């Protein structure tokens, strides 16, 4: 059990590292940002530099803002989320579980609410998969694949139920498949085609879709400031270290107020080079009041100001209805999450099945001990 007294002492000892005062960094960044937005040649300067950091592309003014008009017409919000029970060697069976939750809420006329969850049990990986990647990474990739496939199916069903009512499909997280970039080419070749196929189907349906990132850790705008602090000569420059704790959301507060969004920026992550042009991820920052969130959309939406504004308005309305976080996303998570009792039920069913089928199941002493602690 946790020794709370010792924990309190150790937290107090590292409190200065846990709670960092960034006010001085913000002052430096603000002054640099003002110089950036006043530089008419900024975009050309950036394009000439082989920057060591991820730098976005954009059109128009760097600090361009858009006030979002409230939604007053009927619309639908659809979100899909996933959860999992990873393979556990201590349970004696190599299967694993992925649970997909769907939440569709229609506002106005016709109105309706549809929640569902769908568990899928996998018995094993194929040999090429398990030799190339860790089981956890593979499960995570499979979960996203099922999430995207369920999104396409659910959006098609929503169209049949609610006709031409505007529909926003919300994804929990990024449309940039970062995990495929960081884990090597095997996962990219194994899953990227499937992911992009799902996004293509949403495009063919002309279904508005966007990724919502709460408390984003991205630093693309910060990296522009880092370049400016280094006078656009970042090699062997240490001036950028003055703002090492800042995030884009902090920079966005220089020019956003509640109910506003930023300009649209293009992601230049390496993995995006594998996307078709019309599906390339773009992003903007949205002040929902409780936080500044990052919203990502494919190029076919980002290139249309009317569609971008519609996505921003629907996302803002969802955040307000969810008291700071999009309601449909929160509800889909509740449908998807596999809680402790659910996990125990999963393993109890496996135990009963092993008895019914007269098959031995070697549960490790560690797992048995956890379920029946003795003195």
**Tell me, what's the pLDDT at 134?**
81
Tell me the CATH architecture of domain 65-336: 2-Layer Sandwich (3.30)
Q: Which of 309-313, 341-345, 361-365 has the highest mean pLDDT?
A: 309-313
pTM score of the predicted model:
0.90
- Which of 19-23, 223-227, 260-264 shows the lowest per-residue confidence on average (mean pLDDT)? 19-23
**Tell me, what's the pLDDT at 350?**
77
pLDDT digits (tens, 9 = 90+) for 269-308: 999 999 999 999 999 999 999 999 999 999 999 999 999 9
Q: Tokens 């069976």 belong to which residue?
A: 93
pLDDT digits (tens, 9 = 90+) for 175-189: 999 989 887 788 899
**Tell me, what's the pLDDT at 246?**
96
> Quick one: pLDDT band at residue 340, thresholds 50, 70, 90?
confident
Say if residues 155 and 202 touch (Cβ distance below 8 Å): yes
Q: Which of 95-99, 107-111, 184-188, 300-304 has the highest mean pLDDT?
A: 300-304
Q: What is the mean pLDDT of residues 13-31?
A: 91
> Quick one: pLDDT band at residue 357, thresholds 50, 70, 90?
low
Separation between Cα atoms, residue 165 and residue 71, nearest integer Å: 13
**Tell me, what's the pLDDT at 359?**
56
Q: What is the mean pLDDT of residues 119-125?
A: 84
Answer yes or no: is pLDDT of 31 > 80: yes
Q: Tokens 């504004």 belong to which residue?
A: 309
**Tell me, what's the pLDDT at 165?**
87
**Tell me, what's the pLDDT at 369?**
47
**Tell me, what's the pLDDT at 90?**
55
Answer yes or no: is pLDDT of 363 > 70: no
């Amino acid at each position: 059990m946790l020794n709370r007294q010792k924990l309190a002492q150790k937290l107090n000892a590292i409190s200065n590292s846990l709670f960092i005062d960034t006010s001085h960094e913000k002052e430096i960044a603000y002054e640099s940002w003002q110089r950036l937005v006043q530089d008419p040649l900024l975009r050309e300067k950036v394009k000439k530099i082989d920057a060591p950091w991820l730098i976005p592309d954009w059109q128009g003014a760097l600090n361009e803002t858009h006030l979002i008009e409230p939604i007053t017409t009927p619309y639908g919000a659809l979100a899909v989320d996933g959860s999992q029970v990873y393979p556990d060697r201590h349970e004696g069976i190599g299967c694993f579980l992925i649970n997909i939750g769907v939440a569709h809420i229609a506002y106005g006329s016709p109105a309706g609410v549809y929640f569902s969850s769908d568990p899928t049990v996998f018995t094993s990986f194929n040999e090429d998969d398990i030799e190339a990647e860790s089981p956890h990474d593979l499960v995570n990739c499979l979960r996203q694949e099922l999430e995207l496939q369920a999104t396409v199916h659910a959006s098609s069903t929503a169209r049949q139920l609610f006709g031409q009512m505007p529909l926003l499909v919300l994804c929990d997280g990024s449309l940039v498949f970062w995990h495929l970039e960081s884990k090597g080419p095997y996962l990219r070749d194994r899953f990227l085609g499937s992911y992009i196929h799902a996004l293509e189907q949403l495009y063919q349906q002309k279904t508005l879709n966007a990724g919502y990132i709460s408390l984003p850790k991205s630093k693309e705008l910060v990296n522009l400031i880092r370049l400016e602090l280094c006078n656009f000569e970042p090699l062997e420059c240490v001036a950028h270290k003055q703002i090492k704790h800042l995030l884009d959301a902090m920079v966005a507060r220089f020019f956003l107020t509640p109910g506003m969004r930023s300009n649209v920026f293009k992601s230049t992550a390496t993995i995006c080079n594998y996307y078709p042009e019309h599906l390339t991820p773009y992003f903007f920052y949205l002040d929902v009041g409780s936080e500044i969130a990052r919203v990502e959309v494919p190029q076919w939406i980002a290139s249309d100001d009317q569609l971008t504004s519609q996505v921003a308005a629907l996302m803002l309305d969802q955040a307000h209805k969810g008291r700071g976080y999009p309601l449909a996303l929160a509800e889909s998570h509740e449908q998807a999450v596999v809680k402790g009792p659910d996990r125990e039920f999963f393993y109890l069913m496996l135990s009963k099945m092993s008895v019914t089928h007269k098959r031995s199941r070697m549960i490790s002493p560690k797992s048995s001990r956890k379920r029946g602690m003795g003195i």
